[in-house]
Amino acid sequence: MRSAIHSASAAVALAAAVAITAVTPAAAAETPDPAADARAFQKFFTEKFPKVKLQDFVNGPYSMNADMHRQWEEKEQFPPYDFSLEAGKEMFAKPFKNGKSYADCFPNQGIGIRQNYPYFDEKEGKVVTLELALNRCREGNGEAPFSYLKDEMAALTAYMAFTSRGKPFDIKIPNDPRALEAYENGKRYFYTRRGQLNFSCASCHVQNPGERIRAEVLAPALGILNAMPIYRSEWGGMGTISRRFTTCNSQIRGVPLEPQADEYRDVEYYLSYLSNGLPISGPGARP
């Protein structure tokens, strides 16, 4: 582990100036330009991995290595997330005690809408994620909220993602200074170092995708949320975006925030926007 961390840290130091400048061209601009950020971000990854098609970045580490890709194709014949997907489908269709259901809380009855989340709620002035919207739906209909990390929430989001498979992310930043501020806050969080290892999200997922830390092959940040929720062999089960964020903070020996904290919602907004145009591939499976 010590050797792996040392190698990763060295790679981070060498790549930091070039990589961060390449993917955040608007950082020094007077007016932030998310569209320019997204173009530069996608260009950075397609140039870094010229053999990987843009749409394939949603397959995470499996897009980085031919052997892993073959293993993934075999795994997808009997995907380990099937149990969660089936459970989510049943849960989604089951009415609440008041007779209403999840379908009453979402556009198009909740089918094929995953690609539109998270979105910026102009009335509330904050980012609303799919996980947050599901629990608000439950509470608004007299039901107790689910844990944001796994189990029921992972199953529900797995089903909703499955109904959107192949649809491209279509995240909007409305003409509202608060929306742009949320995007910029997410961007800042993504590139800020924290924890005892002094890593940022970008240290692993921008500067070192395809490399290994321990037995884990690091996924590229581009398309990383398109496959969520995911079954991870390391977890022995399903996990949500909230679980992935809190786990990442723990792995760098930092203090995780509460699931669905503003910072986590903003970084989800930022990363999702940068992956606009890439298809939803969730639920997924990872090592």
What is the chain's Cα-based Rg? 18
Q: Do residues 159 and 240 lie in contact, with contact meaning Cβ atoms separated by under 8 Å?
A: no
Q: How far apart are CA 231 and CA 285, in angstroms?
A: 5
H or E segment at 286?
strand 284-286
Pinpoint the alpha helices (H) of 51-200. 66-75, 82-93, 130-140, 151-162, 177-191
Burial of 220 (0-12, 13-18, 19+ CB in 10 A): buried
Q: Do residues 256 and 204 lie in contact, with contact meaning Cβ atoms separated by under 8 Å?
A: no
Q: How far apart are CA 213 and CA 58, in angstroms?
A: 20
> Which residue in the block uniquely carries the two structure tokens 């995911």?
230
> Which residue in the block uniquely carries the two structure tokens 């689910």?
146
Catalytic residue among 105, 137, 204, 248: 248
Of the candidates 6, 12, 37, 24, the one whose C-alpha atom is nearest the C-alpha of residue 205 is: 12
Q: Is 204 a catalytic residue?
A: no
> Which residue in the block uniquely carries the two structure tokens 């022995």?
236
Half-sphere exposure of 167 (CA within 13 A, CB side): 15
Q: How far apart are CA 169 and CA 277, in angstroms?
A: 5
Report helix, strand and coil shares of the chain as percent, to nearest 5: 55, 10, 40
Q: So which residues are the catalytic ones?
A: 248
